[in-house]
Chain A
């Protein structure tokens, strides 16, 4: 690899997993939603795209953070019912700043809160979003 090509590759990598300001979705990744705080960006999509009640699904996430992310936890709750999922998802890193959470299931209609706990620099920052299932 030439020095120029190496710089391009590094730049692309930084675009995926680098600072929150420079965060862009990698090619082919269409985010369902982008969540952001001052130092952290989480873009995610669900597989399959449409979440069905009572069907397992996965969450694929791209995380950009300053300082860089060291890990991610994904979970979901129904605050109105005061319960979470009946299944504990497992999160695996699939590349720099990229994760997949498997084993998710929403078992009831209503308002679910999808939660991302981003671990970085010895701290955990939480980003969350609501998903309404009828």
Chain B
């Protein structure tokens, strides 16, 4: 149902092959609105090589990481692969309210689309690199439950994996299990960097608007234009959901209860910073390949503050229509529920010592419709299709 509705929206914007664009008026956006709309592009945004990962951008590492991503033997039980929870055909998430590896988890599984552009990883920013976040999933008893020794043994024993590994990394898997674990994380990250979303109806509209092409801009649904106007204007959504990724990459308390279970709370960013600092795989540790040291600037300067309690990462809104349910604990089933949450915000719930940023938007039902229509146009039609099955490079094929 959701896929059919999205297809209808994308067809209406003329983005899908064979679609006929329906001419509609273009709202008369004020110069200040156009400036804000401009800031949400261009797209795709360039991805720089990760200096903390010496195999970032290395095609051989991408091949290894791709194979590892779909490899359930990396888990302690041989049953959970990265792709189990980050399913390519589900826009690299799982469609569940809360994730589940070897045991149930407390939070919604984030999509991996465009993860290479993130500053912090996981809802609480417990990781400062893509590669170290992958290691946490492998080692967490509730996710894949593995150990460095287990991972090194799997890589060392499988002829294809071993061949792929030896093309990228030294020393061999028998040498140092922890070093192999880190190499696995870095190869996985090299693959994840290639998971990028493409252009969306919004991007076509933005670019047409900026070049003054009203004919092309008119293909963008009027409801989405009105929603966009609310988004960059009175809704103030773009204060946090800013830039080409529609996120500032930082952390906020948006009024979602942090009680996970009776007597147990989710400390959010406060807990995340503590875990980051205790992490031997963080960018201040021995496995950071950045010789200049600039990559660790964020880690060196971040400190837990009282206001961090109950804060969670501002998610990107690109392809958000494909990644339901929503919020850090998956409590909201639809985009309409999310917009309604901000419309009816419970100010009593917002941390009293925290920032004064949010206020109830008090939107009408029509305005809610418009905002949802806008959010749905942030969808790349190909984002949920995923990659072809992992191919083994010729040099390692048949092993």
Given the known inter-chain contacts A81-B356, A83-B307, A88-B303, please indicate yes or no for A53 contacting B243, CB distance below 8 A: yes
Give residues of chain A (101-133) contacting chain B, Cβ–Cβ below 8 Å.
Answer: 102-103, 105, 107-110
CB of B303 within 8 A of CB of A102, answer no
Q: A87-B302, A103-B300 are in contact. List 20 more A-B contacts (CB 8 A).
A: A54-B119, A54-B243, A56-B301, A78-B355, A82-B354, A82-B355, A83-B307, A83-B356, A84-B305, A88-B301, A88-B303, A90-B301, A102-B297, A103-B297, A105-B301, A107-B248, A107-B250, A108-B248, A109-B239, A134-B36
- Chain B, residues 295-313, CB within 8 Å of chain A (1/0): the string is 0011011110101000000
Give the distance in Å from the alpha carbon of A83 to the alpha carbon of B356 in the complex: 8
| Interface presence of A86 (CB below 8 A) | yes
The reply on A89 being an interface residue by CB < 8 A is yes
Task: Report which of A53, A89, A102 forms a contact with B248, defined as CB distance below 8 A.
Answer: A53
Q: DSSP class of B's interface residues: helix, strand, loop or mixed?
A: loop
A102 vs B298: C-alpha distance when bound (angstroms): 10
Q: A56-B297, A86-B251, A87-B298 are in contact. Are A108 and B239 (CB under 8 A)?
A: yes
- What residues of B have a CB within 8 angstroms of the CB of A82 in the complex? 354-356
CB atoms of B248 and A54 under 8 A apart = yes
Q: Given A56-B297, A110-B239, are A83 and B248 neighbors across the interface (CB < 8 Å)?
A: no
Question: Residues on A close to B: CB < 8 A?
Answer: 53-54, 56, 78, 80-84, 86-90, 102-103, 105, 107-110, 134
**Which residues of chain B are within 8 angstroms of A87 by Cβ–Cβ distance?**
298, 301-303
- Which residues of B are interface residues toward A (Cβ below 8 A)? 35-36, 119, 239-240, 242-243, 248-251, 297-298, 300-303, 305, 307, 354-357
Q: Which chain B residue shows the least CB distance to A107? A: B250
Shortest beta-carbon distance, B242 to chain A, in Å?
6
- Rounded to whole Å, the gap between the CB of B159 and the closest CB of chain A is 45
Chain B residues near A109 (CB, 8 Å)? Answer: 239, 242
A78, B355: Cα distance in complex, Å: 9
A residues in contact with B35, CB < 8 Å: 134
Known: A56-B298, A87-B301, A103-B301. A81 touches B248 (CB 8 A): no
User: Is there an interface contact between A53 and B298, defined as CB atoms closer than 8 Å?
Assistant: no
Closest beta carbon of chain A to B126's beta carbon, Å: 15
Identity of the chain A residue whose Cβ is nearest the Cβ of B355 in the assembled complex = A83
CA of A87 to CA of B250 in the docked complex: distance in angstroms? 11
Residues of A within 8 Å of B250, CB to CB, are 54, 86, 107-108
CB-CB under 8 A for A81 and B297, given A53-B243, A86-B302, A108-B239: no
Judge whether A83 and B242 touch: CB under 8 Å. Answer: no
What distance in Å separates the Cβ of B305 from its nearest Cβ neighbour in chain A?
8
Query: What would 29 A/B residue contacts be, using CB atoms closer than 8 Å?
Result: A54-B119, A54-B243, A54-B248, A54-B249, A56-B298, A56-B301, A78-B355, A81-B355, A81-B357, A82-B355, A82-B356, A83-B354, A83-B355, A83-B356, A83-B357, A86-B305, A87-B301, A88-B301, A90-B300, A102-B297, A102-B301, A103-B300, A107-B248, A107-B249, A108-B240, A108-B242, A109-B239, A109-B242, A110-B239
Shortest beta-carbon distance, B330 to chain A, in Å? 25
Cα separation A78 to B242 with both chains bound (whole Å): 17
Please give, as numbers and ranges, the residues of chain B lying within 8 Å of A56 by CB-CB distance: 297-298, 301
B302 / chain A contacts, CB cutoff of 8 Å: 86-88
Give the CA-CA distance A107 to B241 in the complex, in Å.
11
Distance of B346 from chain A, by nearest CB (Å): 18
CB of B208, distance to nearest CB on chain A (Å): 22
Complex Cα distance A88/B302, Å? Answer: 6
How far is A108 from B358 in the complex, measured between Cα atoms in Å?
A: 13
- A89 / chain B contacts, CB cutoff of 8 Å: 301
List chain B residues, Cβ under 8 A from A54. 119, 242-243, 248-250
Within the assembled complex, what's the spacing in Å between the Cα atoms of A54 and B36? 16
Contacts of B240 in A (CB 8 A): 108
- The interface residues of chain A lying within 8 Å CB-to-CB of B298 are 56, 87, 105
* Cβ–Cβ < 8 Å partners of B305 in chain A: 84, 86
Residue on A with the closest CB to B307?
Answer: A83
